[in-house]
Amino acid sequence: MGDQLLLAFIAIAIGVGFGILLFVPFVAVSYRRRGGLSLGRTLLWLAALVYFWAIWTYTLLPLPDPDSIRCVGMITDPMEVVRDLQKAFAGPGSPLRHPAFLQLAFNILLFVPLGAFLRILAARGILTALVVGFGTSLFIELTQLTGVWGLYPCAYRFFDVGDMMTNTTGAVLGSVLALVVPRSLRGMQEKADAALPRPVTRGRRAIAMLCDALAYGFVISGVGVGVQVWLQYVVGDREAVLDGALSGLIATVVASGAWLLLVLVTGRSVGDHAVQLRYAGSPLPAPFARLLRWAGGIGGIGALPLLGSFFDGISSLLVVVAVVLLFTTRLGRGLPGLLSGQQLTDARETAATRQAPAR
């Protein structure tokens, strides 16, 4: 039981990790194809990510010690499943508790979500569920047959044709069960009104701030790791690697500079672009207003520590101020709006106005 809980925790941790990594593009696609973001669909996509990794953790983990494995062969007779069931029902006790029946039921149930996700999230039917279910199961069985693609000298788990049959059955069953979901809620197809403006809310602005924070953090991390690798393997400066100050400095300059360039050119940050928001209406000249909009966002706040250690505390304080102002300013325009004198609008309003026929 402990191993099963550990595998579940691993799947959840990896799934959530990938969910965080993909959150910004997911938000951007949702606002462009469906006009907005819904909690239900977000949780459903997160569940799909967790499920994807659960398949691999439950079928391949835990990896055994190479010295302790026992090589096994292949089960290629598809009737072996039927014979196992016959033994379950012919033996003493409840057949529902027999290992053979439980194994069959688990193999089916494990792939039911796959068929359901394919229909709900990708708007694909039974044929796709059958092909994807069979292909996924075949890949898993081949991974086991090859000793995790050569990681082990031989297969330590059976290549079982019966597993492929039951897995594929589960995927098809999941697709059938998902028919209860209304067609209008399936898939990521573009909504007819996706390009129309939506109300600007504090929740939407909060999502924009979250997207900015995640994207900024990814840039900081990516550049920092790149600089550390360069210092280690190209320059050979082990002391600089252990100190980390140079990589942190370069990463901060690159990230804050990228946000500054983006805001100066487009007037919007990564988060603004993701949720289709725009700051507009300042009495100040546009370049100066955009500079102040950057200063009040993650780019400007994140750049403050470059001015000295004293500004580390100022930067942290401004993060708290930015969160408070999200809830206390009109439509959540926050610190960027106060500094620049701008108001929040839906970025699609301008496009819709330009496309509207003259009357």
pLDDT grade for 296, boundaries at 50, 70 and 90: very high
Tracing tokens 């993060």 back to the chain, one arrives at: 319
**31-45, 150-164, 185-199: segment of lowest average pLDDT:** 185-199
**Helix or strand (DSSP H, E) at 74:** strand 74-75
Average pLDDT over residues 26-37: 90
**Prior bond of 62 cis (ω within 30°):** yes
Task: Band the pLDDT of 95: cuts 50, 70, 90.
Answer: low
* Coil, strand or helix at 344: strand
Burial bucket for residue 147 (CB in 10 Å: 0-12, 13-18, 19+): middle
Instruction: State the chain's mean pLDDT as an integer.
Output: 87
pLDDT (0 to 100) of residue 347: 92
Amino acid at 266: T
At residue 352, the pLDDT reads 45
CA nearest to 140, candidates 116, 113, 168: 168
pLDDT bin (cut points 50, 70, 90) of residue 357 is very low
As a whole number of angstroms, the distance between CA 45 and CA 68 comes to: 38
Assigned token pair, 130:
């059958």
Tell me the pLDDT band of 3, cut-offs 50, 70 and 90: low
Cross-strand pairs, 74: 159
Residues 115-139 have pLDDT tens digits of: 999 999 888 899 999 999 999 999 9
* Pairing between β-strand 343-346 and β-strand 277-280 as defined by DSSP bridges: antiparallel
- Amino acid occupying residue 106: F
For range 213-231, the mean pLDDT? 96
Burial of 215 (0-12, 13-18, 19+ CB in 10 A): buried
**Burial degree of 245 (CB within 10 A; 0-12, 13-18, 19+):** exposed
* 262 has pLDDT over 80: yes
Query: 76: which residues sit within 8 A by CB, 6+ positions away?
Result: 159, 161
Q: What percent of the chain has pLDDT over 70?
A: 92
Between 6 and 211, name the one with better pLDDT: 211
Q: Indicate the residue type of 238.
A: R
Q: What is the mean pLDDT of residues 317-333?
A: 94
Task: Determine the residue type at 226.
Answer: G
pLDDT of residue 98: 67
Q: Is the model's pLDDT at 92 over the cut of 80? A: no
Residue 157 has pLDDT above 70, yes or no: yes
The residue-averaged pLDDT of 330-356 equals 81
φ, ψ (nearest 5 deg) of residue 229:
-65, -40
Whether 84 has a pLDDT exceeding 80, the answer reads no
| H or E element that contains 346 | strand 343-346
Kindly tell me if the per-residue pLDDT of 40 is higher than 90: no
* Cα gap 215→222, rounded to integer Å: 10
Question: 99-122 and 80-90 helices cross at what angle (nearest 10)?
Answer: 130
pLDDT at 1: 47
Q: What are phi and psi of 93, to 5 degrees?
A: 80, 180
- Beta bridge partners, 141, equal none
pLDDT category, 356, cuts 50, 70, 90? very low
- Domain ranges across the chain: 1-62, 67-194, 202-354
